[in-house]
A and B are shown apart, each in its own frame.
Chain A
């Protein structure tokens, strides 16, 4: 024990503050949240230290899970919402990645004014998300929004973007794409710059076409970056709450798992902490399963992660 501490105490001292903060503010609440999923806890029966009222919630076993997984619409139509969440997540991340990669490739060339373009293209990342949400909500307005003005001007149909139709989902996906591309672009640009130039020269001497150079030098060179940012992107987008909530509010057409959990949590006559927590646990489970599959797929390709 002594020797163990002698050897590692520097490392532990450096890690300790984070471990304490995470344990107290994440793991403990998480455990409590999991416990809540087996109860019927809500605003009315939770212990209230201000009113000096004891807790009166009771255990309901697996009822919350059964209710939600039955797909009942009074419990958020779980399966439909899950499908929408997947469309939202993969749609957004696909757009983030392809647009981000395209712009990174353009910016990686020697082009006049590159620094200026880079600053302008990263700008959406610097704007606080709630400001971006307001800005887009304003631009998407059906009557006075600039987007519909422009569509009308060129004779295209101008849908009610943020109403009760699938246009609302398209709208929030556009906003989220605008918001998420800069991160991907910057990360991929860094990845591109770490690919040694000799590889391109060698490929060129060997007569590889631009497409072949992209396919056989660029993409393999980016694999490490890509696998990390895509995984992070998927996790973040799956749990993206602020944009959807601030742009469309509690609209069933843009409802994803996280926003429904939050709706359940904050609105309604009695705040239903139990169902919200159950959604939280289900979200975590979906993401854990996904990350496990993802990791295994990467390992098959020889990537150690």
Chain B
């Protein structure tokens, strides 16, 4: 952090103004700006929620109303499986997203810890290669990846997809967790070693519990990566309805010339709920977790 002392001194001579209590106008302005921004942030979600109760025909009226023949019909139809095996898709998505979360958090925690605490040959190139991995458009790896998963016998399995998601989630998560581990004093590690713990023991029993905010953000990021991914899921899972994830399954509502907006909206709300629950659980950790991580990268 470099405060330009010289320029500050120049400023000091200029005019001695003392900051007073925020004026009423400033306060109103501050709240107004935050309210407007919050409305913009929330409105699309709110609008989908409103639409999800309307019949398809009412969702495309040229003068939209907030409530128009609204009912729970869309939800009951979807959950009853009239529009495809929604519950199966949901189950697949949950399994894949949870496996990705657990595996990505575990992998990036160990890697991040090693990068934070040990100096070993190859560390720098490892971290650089993580940055490069973010640069390659994954969409273009689909054919080679398909071949490899075929060779490994993982093609068409959820685990294959989980591994692919980990390759996108782990590099970023590792950067974040490395930054977070850097903020945990190394004295703790040394104290643990003195008490006879192995490096793994120190990591597992002392450092991980302290890194909860960082882990929460990592989990959030990994979960969302897997929960919302479309391209790989559509390329790698079999076409059978019961093996699809939500992101793939929902395409049935978007047909060539006609979109069933009411049904799509209801399905979207059902898909968004788990993500928002996860978000709500981790949101108080987000700022601390991400700041020390992405920040010091």
Q: CA A21 – CA B129 in complex, angstroms?
A: 13
Q: A49-B150, A127-B275, A134-B268 are in contact. Are A139 and B44 (CB under 8 A)?
A: yes
- A1 at interface, CB cutoff 8 A: no
- Which residue of chain A is the closest to B149 with respect to CB atoms? A25
Partner of A143, one of B62, B172, B231: B62
- A273 at interface, CB cutoff 8 A: yes
Considering only residues 96-137 of chain A, those with a C-beta below 8 Å from chain B are: 102-103, 106-107, 109, 111-112, 117-132, 134-136
- A60 at interface, CB cutoff 8 A: no
Closest CB in chain A relative to B188 CB, distance in Å: 16
- A30 at interface, CB cutoff 8 A: yes
| A130–B136 CB distance below 8 A | no
Q: Which residues of A contact B276 (CB under 8 A)?
A: 123, 126-127
Q: Which residues of A contact B37 (CB under 8 A)?
A: 103, 106, 121
Considering only residues 126-140 of chain B, those with a C-beta below 8 Å from chain A are: 126, 129-140
| A193–B291 CB distance below 8 A | yes
Partner of B41, one of A120, A189, A236: A120
Q: CA A282 – CA B172 in complex, angstroms?
A: 23
Q: A123-B41, A126-B279, A139-B47 are in contact. Are A15 and B110 (CB under 8 A)?
A: yes
Count: A-B pairs, CB below 8 Å: 318
Considering only residues 29-84 of chain B, those with a C-beta below 8 Å from chain A are: 30-31, 33-34, 37-38, 40-42, 44-45, 47-48, 51, 59-64
| A17–B110 CB distance below 8 A | yes
Q: Which residues of A contact B92 (CB under 8 A)?
A: none
- Which residue of chain A is the closest to B295 with respect to CB atoms? A225
Q: CA A242 – CA B145 in complex, angstroms?
A: 19
Q: Which residues of A contact B114 (CB under 8 A)?
A: 10-12, 14-15
Q: Which residues of A contact B199 (CB under 8 A)?
A: 10
Q: CA A122 – CA B287 in complex, angstroms?
A: 10
- A146 at interface, CB cutoff 8 A: yes
- Which residue of chain A is the closest to B117 with respect to CB atoms? A11
Q: Which residues of A contact B15 (CB under 8 A)?
A: 207, 209
| B148–A24 CB distance below 8 A | yes
| B294–A187 CB distance below 8 A | yes
Closest CB in chain A relative to B197 CB, distance in Å: 12
Partner of B51, one of A111, A138, A241, A276: A138
Q: Which residues of B contact A69 (CB under 8 A)?
A: none
Considering only residues 17-34 of chain B, those with a C-beta below 8 Å from chain A are: 17-19, 30-31, 33-34
Q: Which residues of A contact B42 (CB under 8 A)?
A: 120, 123
Closest CB in chain B relative to A128 CB, distance in Å: 3
| A135–B48 CB distance below 8 A | yes
Excluding A14-B203, A128-B271, A277-B140, 19 further A-B contacts by CB distance (< 8 Å) are: A15-B110, A21-B107, A25-B167, A106-B33, A106-B37, A112-B31, A119-B283, A121-B34, A123-B276, A127-B44, A134-B254, A139-B44, A143-B62, A194-B292, A202-B8, A206-B8, A208-B8, A220-B2, A283-B137
